[in-house]
């Protein structure tokens, strides 16, 4: 395959000169200027002494910077001891804190960000979900060479969108050490979302272990962090929780054992090592977001975790979801939402009118595997708290997660949600359309196949293909959700607020299998790791469809850089939501359409950090045409 | 079997499967992934571009659209770092058993026993070593070890194919013997989560033996694990200098109960029932030795 992929690098020389760094500084230069620069950009809310390692500051001291304001902003990356949950941890701090400052931008202006690398190693910042020139995308090895130790890299790009996003390192496992923050882009025009006060909420996971050590454990000892496995001691518990008899429980467990699978393998890394954080603070530290009765409070959630899906709810307050991945959606009221790693959601909650000053609401963010939670409080003043719910029972994977769904259920779902009202549109899609290269058929945009059978190909030793059938799960809220008597957001409820630009039926499609060997911790697409892969080529300006088929038993948040993925959410072409990150659940067939309007090379990967580092990653090349041969991803 | 019989057999299977699937399927035909294009096939079939205008694409400063598209059609420049380190070398060492064995009879001396394995390598290809042995420390100096040095390749998701050499030695106060063997084996996880290690040995004298070890982790709580283990040896021929007769030679049945203080550090206690079988047992009996032994063990299991 290697030969197949290799091509003569024609423009390397021409290009390399264009990628030289704008300017460099020595470390000594830095130390001379940082003090004043930092204070000048007013990013220390409490004006703390910087660089003084002796007195350890707590994490979560987040500042705010305006990157489209005059003069731009400076970000300083350094290794620093911070108190996380009261314990000292060696973090990568951005301007002295984890998370880094909330970076604000205004749509239509130019962002200017100087990143100063005070780390002893190379680093990078990726602006997650932002459309920009590929050289500004911040992926070492794809967009640029990275930012070497002691260097400064200047990011400069026009801001062409608005909404809530985030940023993070794209170098190695640095993200695990706190190298992330929220990014909020104000709309150029009026905001369709009405609110009185807004709060930035960065969810993350923290470990005091060395991330490389964590990866080594995952690679060498399966289930290392799972302390909720099936045991003899919890048979009784499982019988009570599920209403099954002893024989049924034993049979079920034997069925999983026969497949060499663990139904409790919901999260690779758990509360056994993680502290779960909201804005750098643990549940015990209880960060408080203030509001007044009657106010509409906009909560901007970004999940900056490396491995943790959170289930968010505010007992007593329904949430109106107004934005998903920075894109306005038709408002949906719900009681709970699952936010995957790298997704962002904006919700608005209205504080009920009251004369009392003693009200408080708990913002409860439970991890998907129920091994822990992050928590904050919405209240009129700091120091307040409300009752904290207990953790629910950890979910177990079901036969449906292996693609063994009853046909009865399938038909009901089909009739109930897809309907047949769009038969005519569907017919229209069958029309042929002439093109340069011959007849091209526009692909249907509604009533897509509900399921797909896996062929006999097994994708080799790097893949344990569990699901023999993959099917649409847009209505399925996910493992462990939907049985509590309250509403849970699903992808089928996401509808774009306005018809986004460039919507049309795609003319090309391909299948992409999400594959992995959880036993050996090898992850990839179509059974190949990144280092073994060729780039996925998009043709510039084409409308392209990718059918993602999850062969594994885990949910993967799949992220495309540089371009939107228009999620087929069961609705019409006009209102499918735009996403930068989509959850593909076990045994799910999930379809996205992409408008390939961003020339260059981009990253496309599972945003679970350790899956990514284990190979679940592709380079996407948006090229002029597809006549040339495949391009190998690795030099 | 003649070819047509294969065909008939395959057709029969196909008919049965079709019938079965017929029930399971909707009226609409379900697509099958094997008939559909992956990204490379899809790119090959696609020609021409769509003639519609789009908003000004975001281009890097100083680069034209053609510059960018040309760049995109090539592998990354040499001076770019590797984006994803998904092909690293990892090192793993597991001391499964490091234990003191106390025999329930007075004739057999108490001794140390150990069994370890480890590997160095990437996801698919590894250097894999295994080492086990036992030694008596009080009284007579006596012991034996076996060391396997193997190339290991992950051939299916759960199975490694292994090939290499074994060095085995045995010593007594006034005697030392050793031998080299060639090894070929399969090690992996069988359905129902049995860890299996099967290996075939051909010694330098041409003696063929086979070893099979199966173990299972029965979790009592999240940290307490009961591990039954069965180990069986077979000789393909009589090997008089090793006191072995053709057929099954000896069997170990172990039960260990460990407490995982950490996943990689667990003290345990255990019991072993060991017996010689067939001709090997006869040879031992003739020499006046016991053919069955019971041991009580205490030790630690650790990994790094």
Task: Report helix, strand or coil for A333.
Answer: strand
| Cα A596-A597-A601 angle, rounded to 5 deg | 70
The band of A11, judged by pLDDT with boundaries at 50, 70 and 90, is very low
* A257 at B interface, C-beta within 8 A: yes
Q: Is A290 helix (H, G, I), strand (E, B) or coil?
A: strand
Is B20's pLDDT higher than 60? no
Q: How many CA atoms are closer than 13 Å to the CA of A635, on its beta-carbon side?
A: 14
Segment A310-335, tens digit of pLDDT? 999 999 999 999 999 999 999 999 99
**What is the distance in angstroms between the Cα of A299 and the nearest Cα belonging to chain B?**
30
Q: Helix A235-242 vs helix A246-258: angle between axes, to the nearest 10 degrees?
A: 110
Nearest-Cα distance to chain A for B173, in Å, is 40
Q: What percent of chain A shows pLDDT beyond 90?
A: 74
Strand, coil or helix: B238:
coil
- Reported confidence tier of residue B16, pLDDT bands at 50, 70, 90: very low
ipTM value: 0.88
Judged by CB atoms closer than 8 Å, whether chains meet at B72 and A454 is answered as no
Who among A14, A133, A614 is closest to B58 (CB)? A133
Across the range B4-9, mean pLDDT stands at 51
Q: State whether residue A415 sits within 8 Å of chain B by CB.
A: no
**More confidently predicted of A598 and B107:** A598
Report residue A40: phi and psi, to 5°. -60, -35
Whether pLDDT at A416 is above 70: no
Beta strand spans in A259-369 (E): 274-278, 288-290, 296-303, 310-313, 319-324, 327-334, 336-339, 344-350, 361-367
pLDDT digits (tens, 9 = 90+) for B170-206: 998 888 999 999 999 999 999 999 999 999 999 999 9
Kindly report the nearest CA distance between residue B13 and chain A, in angstroms.
15
**pTM here?**
0.88
A–B: how many Cβ contacts below 8 A?
294
Select from A8, A10, A12 the residue whose CB has the most chain B CBs within 10 Å, as the one to mutate to test that interface. Answer: A12
Residue A444 has pLDDT above 70, yes or no: yes
A404: nearest Cα among A269, A179, A586, A220: A586
Spacing of C-alpha A319 from chain mean position: 21
Q: How far is A76 from chain B (nearest CA, A)?
A: 22
Beta partners for residue A87, in sequence order: A84
pLDDT classification of A47: cutoffs 50, 70, 90: very low
Mean predicted confidence (pLDDT) in B262-277: 96
User: Which residues of chain A from 376 to 395 reach within 8 Å of chain B, CB to CB?
Assistant: none
Residues in chain A: 635
Nearest residue in chain A measured CA to CA from B224 = A231
pLDDT cut 70: percent of chain A above it: 86
Average pLDDT over residues A346-356: 94
Is A535 a residue whose pLDDT tops 90? Answer: yes
- Angstrom CA distances, A167 to A39, A375, A615, stand at 22, 22, 21
A198: closest CA among A102, A125, A119?
A102
Helix, strand or coil, per DSSP, at residue B6? helix
Judged against a pLDDT cut of 70, whether residue A447 lies above it is answered with yes
pLDDT of residue B52: 52
Query: Peptide bond before A13: cis, by omega within 30 degrees of 0?
Result: no
Q: Determine the 3-state secondary structure of A212 from DSSP.
A: helix
| pLDDT mean over A425-434 | 36
A503 pLDDT above the threshold of 80: yes
- On chain B, the residues whose CB falls within 8 A of the CB of A440 are 48
CB A81 within 8 A of CB A91: yes
Q: Do A9 and B77 touch (CB under 8 A)?
A: yes
Which one of A624, A630, A632, A633 makes the best mutation probe of the B interface by having the most chain B beta carbons within 10 Å? Answer: A624
Cβ neighbours of residue B300 under 8 Å, at least 6 residues apart? B95, B98, B99, B265, B266, B267, B268
Q: Which residues of A, range 11-70, sit inside 8 Å of B by Cβ? A: 11-12, 14-16, 18-19
For the CA atoms of A470, A473, A474, A479, the dihedral, rounded to the nearest 10 degrees, stands at -140
Banded model confidence at residue A446, pLDDT cuts 50, 70, 90 = confident
Query: Mind listing the pLDDT tens digit for each residue in A155-185?
Result: 999 999 999 999 999 999 999 999 999 999 9
Give a three-class secondary structure readout of A438-485.
EEEECCCCCCCCCEEECCCCCCHHHCCCCCCEEECCCCCCCCCCCCCC
Return contacts of A230-237, CB within 8 angstroms, 24+ apart: A230/A256, A230/A262, A230/A263, A230/A264, A230/B219, A231/B219, A231/B220, A231/B221, A231/B222, A232/B218, A232/B219, A232/B220, A232/B221, A233/B220, A233/B221
Per residue in B31-78, pLDDT tens?
888 778 888 888 877 655 554 555 666 789 899 999 999 999 999 999
Give the burial string for A403-428 (b: 16+ CB within 10 Å, else e). bebeeeebeebbeeebeeebeeeeee
Contact A15 B193 (CB under 8 A): no
Question: Which one is predicted more confidently, A405 or A279?
Answer: A279
Considering only CB atoms, which chain A residues are within 8 Å of B221? 231-233
**What pLDDT does residue A97 have?**
94
- If you average pLDDT over residues A72-83, what whole number do you get? 96
Q: State how far residue A364 is from chain B, nearest Cα, in angstroms.
A: 26
pLDDT value at A548 more than 50: yes
pLDDT greater than 90 at residue A426: no
Q: Would you place residue A420 in the very low, low, confident or very high pLDDT band (cuts 50, 70, 90)?
A: very low
Cα–Cα distance, A322 to B261 (Å, whole number): 47
Contact between B26 and A508 using a beta-carbon 8 Å cutoff? no
Residues 6+ away with beta carbon under 8 Å from A394: A228, A264, A266, A369, A370, A371, A480
> Distance between CA atoms of B26 and A270, rounded to whole angstroms?
40
Average pLDDT, chain A: 87
Instruction: Give me the mean pLDDT over the A49-72 stretch.
Output: 80
> Which A residues 285-324 touch B at CB under 8 Å?
none
User: Which of A543, A628, A630 is the closest to B50 by Cβ?
Assistant: A543
User: Whose CA is closest to A300, among A315, A292, A289?
Assistant: A289
Percent of chain B with pLDDT over 90: 71
How distant is the Cα of A107 from the closest Cα of chain B, in angstroms? 14
Which pLDDT score is estimated for A189?
Answer: 92
Contacts of A435 in chain B (CB under 8 A): 48, 50-51
Reported as type and span, the H/E element at residue A589 is strand A589-595
Query: Are B75 and A463 inside 8 Å of each other by CB?
Result: no
- Is B60 close to A634, i.e. CB distance below 8 A? no
pLDDT (tens digit, 9 = 90+) per residue, A203-236? 999 999 999 999 999 999 999 999 999 999 999 9
Give the three-class secondary structure for B9.
Answer: helix
Structure confidence at residue A551 (pLDDT): 93
Are A130 and A165 a contacting pair, CB within 8 Å?
yes
- Compare A68 and A434 and report the one with higher pLDDT: A68
d(CA B122, CA B116) in angstroms, rounded, equals 20
Nearest CA in chain B to A630: B40
Say what the pLDDT of residue A48 is: 42
Judged against a pLDDT cut of 60, whether residue B222 lies above it is answered with yes
Confidence of residue A5 (pLDDT cuts 50, 70, 90): low
- Sign of the dihedral through C-alpha B24, B29, B33, B39: negative
Nearest-CA distance B288 → chain A (Å): 44
Contact map slice: B 7-66 vs A, CB within 8 A: 24-26, 28, 30-52, 54-55, 57-63, 65-66
Show Cβ contacts of residue A545 under 8 Å, excluding neighbours closer than 6 positions.
Answer: A443, A506, A508, A509, A510, A591, A592, A593, A594
The pLDDT of residue B10 is above 70: no
pLDDT score recorded for residue A501? 81
The pLDDT score that the predictor gives to residue A436 is 41
């Amino acid at each position: 395959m290697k030969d197949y992929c290799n091509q003569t690098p024609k423009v390397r020389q021409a290009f390399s000169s264009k990628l030289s760094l704008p300017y460099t500084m020595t470390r000594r230069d830095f130390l001379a200027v940082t003090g004043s620069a930092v204070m000048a950009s007013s990013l220390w809310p409490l004006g703390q002494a910087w660089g003084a390692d002796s007195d350890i500051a707590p994490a979560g001291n987040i500042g705010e910077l305006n990157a489209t304001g005059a003069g731009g902003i400076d970000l300083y990356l350094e290794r620093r001891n911070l108190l996380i949950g009261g314990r000292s941890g060696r973090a990568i701090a951005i301007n002295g804190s984890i998370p880094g400052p909330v970076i604000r931008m205004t749509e239509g202006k130019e962002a200017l960000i100087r990143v100063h690398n005070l780390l002893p190693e190379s680093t990078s910042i990726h602006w997650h979900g932002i459309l920009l020139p590929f050289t500004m995308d911040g992926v070492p090895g794809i967009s640029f060479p990275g930012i070497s130790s002691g260097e400064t890299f200047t990011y400069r790009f026009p801001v062409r969108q608005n909404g809530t996003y985030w940023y993070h390192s794209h170098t190695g496992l640095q993200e695990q050490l706190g190298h992330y923050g929220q990014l909020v882009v104000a709309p150029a025009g009026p905001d369709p979302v009405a609110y009185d006060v807004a709060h930035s909420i960065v969810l993350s996971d923290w470990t005091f272990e060395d991330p490389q050590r964590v990866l080594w454990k995952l690679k060498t000892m399966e289930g290392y962090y799972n302390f909720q496995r099936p045991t003899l001691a919890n048979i009784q518990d499982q019988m009570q929780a599920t209403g099954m008899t002893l024989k049924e429980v034993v049979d079920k467990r034997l069925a999983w054992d026969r497949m060499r699978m663990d139904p409790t393998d919901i999260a690779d890394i758990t509360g056994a090592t993680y502290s779960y954080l909201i804005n750098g603070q643990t549940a015990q530290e209880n960060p408080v977001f203030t509001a007044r009765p009657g106010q509409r409070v906009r909560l901007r959630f970004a999940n900056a975790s490396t491995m943790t899906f959170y289930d968010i709810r505010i007992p007593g307050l329904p949430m109106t979801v107004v934005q998903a991945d920075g894109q306005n959606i038709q408002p949906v009221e719900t009681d709970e939402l699952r936010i995957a790693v790298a997704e962002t959601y904006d919700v608005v909650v209205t504080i009920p009118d009251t004369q009392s000053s003693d009200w408080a609401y708990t913002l409860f963010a439970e991890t998907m595997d129920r091994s822990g939670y992050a928590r904050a409080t919405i209240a009129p003043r700091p120091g307040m708290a409300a009752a904290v719910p207990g953790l629910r029972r950890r979910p177990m994977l079901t036969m449906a997660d292996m693609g063994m769904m009853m046909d009865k259920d399938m038909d009901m779902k089909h009739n109930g949600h897809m309907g047949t009202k769009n038969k005519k549109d569907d017919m229209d899609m069958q029309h042929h359309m002439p093109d340069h290269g011959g007849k091209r058929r526009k692909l249907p945009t509604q009533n897509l196949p509900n399921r797909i059978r896996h062929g006999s190909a097994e994708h080799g030793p790097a893949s344990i293909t569990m699901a023999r059938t993959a099917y649409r799960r847009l209505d399925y809220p996910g493992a462990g959700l939907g049985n509590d008597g309250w509403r849970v957001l699903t992808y089928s409820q996401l509808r774009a607020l306005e018809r986004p630009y460039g919507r049309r039926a795609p003319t090309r499609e391909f299948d992409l299998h999400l594959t992995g060997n959880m036993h050996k911790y090898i992850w990839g697409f179509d059974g190949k790791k990144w280092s073994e892969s060729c780039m996925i080529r998009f043709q510039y300006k084409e409308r392209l469809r990718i059918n993602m088929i999850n062969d594994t038993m885990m949910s993967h948040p799949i992220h495309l850089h540089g371009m939107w993925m228009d999620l087929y959410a069961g609705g019409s072409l006009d209102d499918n939501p735009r996403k930068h990150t989509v959850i593909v659940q076990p045994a799910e067939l999930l379809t996205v359409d992409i408008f390939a309007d961003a020339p260059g090379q981009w990253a496309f990967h599972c945003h679970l950090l350790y899956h990514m580092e284990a190979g679940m990653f592709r380079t996407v090349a948006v090229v002029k045409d597809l006549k040339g041969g495949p391009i190998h991803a690795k030099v | 079997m003649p070819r047509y019989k294969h065909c008939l057999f395959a057709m029969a299977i196909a008919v049965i499967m079709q019938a079965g699937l017929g029930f399971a399927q909707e009226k609409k035909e379900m697509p099958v992934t094997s008939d559909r294009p992956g990204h490379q096939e899809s790119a090959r079939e696609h020609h021409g571009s769509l003639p519609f205008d789009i908003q000004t694409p975001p281009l890097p400063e100083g680069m034209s659209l053609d510059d960018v598209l040309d760049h995109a059609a090539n592998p990354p420049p040499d001076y770019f770092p590797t984006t994803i380190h998904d092909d690293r070398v990892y090192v793993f060492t597991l001391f499964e058993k490091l234990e003191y064995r106390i025999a329930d009879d007075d004739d057999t001396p108490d001794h140390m026993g150990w069994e370890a394995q480890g590997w160095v390598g990437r996801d698919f290809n590894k250097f894999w070593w295994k080492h086990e042995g036992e030694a008596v420390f009080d009284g007579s100096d006596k012991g034996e070890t076996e060391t396997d040095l193997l190339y290991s390749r992950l051939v299916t998701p759960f199975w490694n194919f292994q090939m290499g050499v074994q060095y085995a030695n045995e010593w007594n106060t006034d005697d030392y013997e050793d031998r080299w063997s060639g090894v070929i084996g399969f090690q992996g996880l069988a359905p129902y989560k049995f860890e299996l290690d099967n290996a075939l040995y051909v010694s330098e004298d041409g003696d063929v033996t086979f070893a099979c070890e199966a173990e299972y982790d029965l979790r009592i709580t999240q940290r307490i694990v009961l591990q039954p283990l069965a180990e069986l040896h077979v000789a393909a021929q009589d090997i008089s200098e090793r006191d072995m007769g053709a057929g099954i030679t000896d069997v170990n049945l172990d039960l260990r109960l460990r407490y995982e203080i950490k996943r990689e550090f667990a003290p345990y206690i255990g019991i072993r029932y060991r017996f010689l079988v067939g001709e090997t047992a006869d040879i031992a009996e003739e020499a006046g030795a016991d053919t069955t032994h019971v041991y009580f063990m205490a030790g630690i299991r650790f990994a790094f």
